[in-house]
Structure 1
Amino acid sequence: MTKNELIAQFDPNGPGVAGNLFGLPFTPATAEVVIIPVPWEVTVSYHAGTARGPLAVLEASSQVDLALKEIPNAWQLGISVLPFPADMPEESEKLRDLSVRHIRALEAGEKMLPGNPITTKINEASENLNIYVKSTAQKWLKEKKIVGLLGGDHSTPLGLLRALGEQYDRFGILQIDAHADLRKAYEGFTYSHASIMFNALKLPSIGRLVQVGIRDYCDEELRVIERSMGRVTTYFDEDVKAQLYQGKSWENICDRIIQDLPEHVYISFDIDGLNPKLCPNTGTPVAGGLEFEQAIYLLKKLVRSGRRIIGFDLSEVAPAPDNDWDANVGARLLYQLCNWAAVSQGRLSAS
């Protein structure tokens, strides 16, 4: 069935299609936006649970109403999630057990020695994951799709960034996060969730990294920022809040953030960039952070500035055993990312 036939037969006001992202009727072939699910959390260093995030967001997405006031018929864009890798959750859990053993040994005072069999095994598996994500992304980018990624921990989008780095000569990253994620091989894991931006900066096509909401960082990360010669610009949460308390508007702060970004922008959204009341079960929640509406306002301002969103990820959503609040927020955030990315590429119109 063609995309137009699917649109003609679908009632956006009624129950959605069971099992489909947002209940929409589209497949990856008929959608404009394709989401890669990556249920992986091997290197998380505090609470686990983010590997369950992609499925939880998928399930919660059926409760998201499809109308967006500023984007008429947004649902007609077409959004679809790829099949979940069957063996990935089991592999992630086994490797996570190994990483916990390693982390506990470090916390007990053991020295981190080169050639450690646990870190070697995990680093090899993580690189295999990067290769899988990159090849999957390349397949759908060749089909002219907008490709997003739904993690899992924040290490998961590196393969997508590598794929985009081969497609675009130059682009910037807008990172919304509680953490700077600029540690080199944190705890011996080359592809740690705490090292995603350190690894991203190895890609020559990434000209700028603009960080928003950062409120947890170490001396090593501050040095990376200071020595970046402007390649990394960090809007620390405490500084942003101080400006707001002193009377500066969020609009003006957003304008400044956007000025630091180039024409092509990748959005990396760790959900712990939000106030933890919106994501209490994320792996490493930190007091402070953005309100949901602040984040969406920044996203809209970015698009209306003429920047083009070339891809995105949403990571670190971790559902609670007894409720789907985190997934509910994550699903709504994902819907906004999908549709505003499409507006930025001219695939949808916005008022």
Structure 2
Amino acid sequence: MSSKTFGGIPEAYAKLETSKIVLIPVPYDGTSTWQKGADQGPEAFLHAAENMETYDIETGTEVYKQGIYLADPVLENSSPEAMVEAVHKISKTYIKKNKFVTLFGGEHSISIGTIRAFNECFNNLTVLHIDAHADLRKTYQGSTCNHACALYEASQTTNLLQVGIRSMDVKENTVMDFDKTYFAHEMVNDEFWADSVIDQMTDQVFITFDLDALDPSIMPSTGTPEPGGMFWYETLDFLKKVFSEKNVVGFDIVELCPNKLNKAPDFLAAKLYYKMLSYKFMNENVADDYDNTYDEVGQKNNILKFTEDDEY
């Protein structure tokens, strides 16, 4: 990764010890089955972020001043299983440091490790899955760590809510909880769908956001684009409600498959990431002189399963 800090922010706001936020790039594309290139997503995302204004008009904040530490990328690609374990391990390490942990993929199989780490660390976790695809296969192409299996484990171990779904295999009907699944063709005619999703959440929420949830007219740069997706402002309105009403404990964004001739989707991904951070921290003050030590300000509402005596 060429970027030294996220968005080119001053290094004073990018130190691990004083940053509230950790960003872990995972440039992995080992199991995608159509368009390749998601392994280039983190680099394109970080490059686009360097050209983004860091003042958010809507919230009136500069969230980077909370501190954003850009971690080393997870480069494990010997097998899908090894990659999932590497993501699980590094995610849990930073969660235990009481950071707000975020990841940028890479294809969706990375989320198996991410969700596993958050589920081990937070009680009664809701996983909010925003995606065009159900991703509920138990195995695919000989592996349980395929992108098509990204949410199977979560469906068995967490309170899984799926939003924007418009593509799935018939066998996934046997796994899917239809009361907690919001199909795109139904959402378009239901003005209360967002409230319904939030009503089914527990207090603590992890968000996994597959960029192909968005309509390909605004997000064509994915490995498997599907027509009929969500649009920018309805997506932001929904996310803002989730962050306002629930304790979002972390998130990942996956499946950016960059196109060298069209940089707009890369910039959208960077803007989406920054908007989500802005919603998370919009009501928190920034300490003076870069002294925004996370242990003091902290995620006050998080209920962690581990104690301070646990090893990192």
Change in 2 beyond 3 A, CA 1:78/1:323: same
Map 1:260-299 to 2 at 5 A. 260-299=200-239
Contact 1:184–1:190 under 8 Å retained in 2: yes
Q: How far is the alpha carbon of 1:35 from its aligned partner?
A: 1.0
Match of 2:174 among 223, 233, 243: 223
Q: Structure 1 unaligned runs (5+)?
A: 1-16, 96-124, 244-248
Q: Distance in 2 between matches of 1:61 and 1:273?
A: 21
Q: Secondary structure at the match of 2:238?
A: helix
CA RMSD, Structure 1 to Structure 2 (Å): 2.2
Q: Does 1:160 align with 2:99?
A: no
How far does residue 344 in structure 1 lie from its aligned partner after superposition? Answer: 8.2
- Verify: 1:233 aligned to 2:180, yes or no: yes
2:25 match: 37
Q: Which runs of 5+ in 2 are unaligned?
A: 285-296, 300-312
* Distance in 1 of aligned mates of 2:277 and 2:109: 20
Quote the offset at 1:71 in angstroms: 4.2
Contact 1:191/1:199, CA 8 A, preserved across alignment = no
Tell me, what secondary structure is at the counterpart of 1:63? Answer: coil
Selected match of 2:68 from 79, 82, 93:
79
Alignment equivalent of 2:127, drawn from 173, 194, 199: 173
Higher helix share: 1
Q: Any idea what the Cα deviations from partners look like across 1:140-166, whole Å, max 9, x if unmatched?
A: 112210001110000002222122122
Higher RCO (Cα < 8 Å, 6 or more apart): 2
1:182 maps to 136
Aligned counterpart, 1:246: none
One-letter amino acid of the counterpart of residue 224, structure 1: V
Q: Report if the CA contact (8 A) 1:43-1:189 is conserved.
A: no
**Cα gap change, 1:18 to 1:240, in 2 (>3 Å):** closer
Counterpart-to-counterpart distance in 2, 1:288 and 1:347: 39
Q: Give the structure with higher Rg (CA).
A: 1
Cα distance in 2 for partners of 1:24, 1:239 equals 41
Kept in 2: contact 1:146–1:342 (CA 8 A): no
Residue 58 of structure 1 is matched in structure 2 by: 46
Aligned equivalent of 1:70: 59
Q: Displacement of 1:282 after TM fit?
A: 0.4
State how far apart, in whole Å, the 1-side matches of 2:40 and 2:83 are.
Answer: 17
8 Å contact kept, 1:174–1:266: yes
Please say if 1:342 is aligned against 2:281: yes
* Length-normalised TM-score, structure 2: 0.84
Instruction: Give the alignment of 1:102-141 within 5 angstroms.
Output: 125-141=79-95
The separation in 2 between residues aligned to 1:298 and 1:222, in whole angstroms, is 26
C-alpha contact (below 8 Å) 1:53/1:319 kept by paired residues: yes
Work out the CA distance in 2 between the residues paired with 1:175 and 1:161.
11
Residue of structure 1 aligned with 2:104, choices 143, 150, 154:
150
Query: Shift of residue 242 of structure 1?
Result: 2.7
Counterpart-to-counterpart distance in 1, 2:59 and 2:209: 22
> Is this contact kept in 1: 2:4–2:70, CA < 8 A?
no
- Following TM superposition, where does structure 1 have runs of at least 4 consecutive aligned residues deviating by more than 6 angstroms? 344-348
Amino acid at match of 1:268: T
Tell me the SS of whatever aligns to 2:181: strand
CA contact (8 A) 1:34 1:145 kept: yes
Distance 2:89 2:169 in 1: 33
Are the aligned partners of 1:311 and 1:341 in contact in 2 as well (CA < 8 Å)?
no
Instruction: Determine the C-alpha separation between the residues in 2 that align with 1:49 and 1:200.
Output: 26
1:144-201 per-position Cα deviation (integer Å, ceiling 9, x unaligned): 1000111000000222212212211211011110001111212222111011111223
Amino acid at match of 2:212: D
Q: Using the TM superposition, give the Cα deviation of residue 331 of structure 1 relative to its aligned residue in structure 2, in angstroms.
A: 0.5
Name the CA distance, whole Å, in 2 between partners of 1:323 and 1:29. Answer: 37
For the 8 Å contact 1:74–1:339, the answer to whether it is kept is yes
SS of residue paired to 1:128: helix
1:301 corresponds to 2:248: no
Aligned pair partner of 1:255 in 181, 185, 195: 195
Distance change >3 Å, CA 44–CA 234, structure 1 → 2: same
Deviation at residue 253 of structure 1 after TM alignment: 2.3
Higher mean C-alpha deviation, range 30-39 or range 160-169: 160-169
Cα separation, 2, equivalents of 1:312 and 1:323:
26
CA contact (8 A) 2:100 2:250 kept: yes
Residue 272 of structure 1 deviates from its aligned partner by 0.2
On the 8 A contact 2:55/2:61 being kept in 1, the answer is: yes
How far did 1:18 drift? Answer: 6.4
User: CA separation in 1, counterparts of 2:113 and 2:133?
Assistant: 20
In the TM superposition, what is the alpha-carbon distance from 1:342 to its structure 2 partner? 3.4
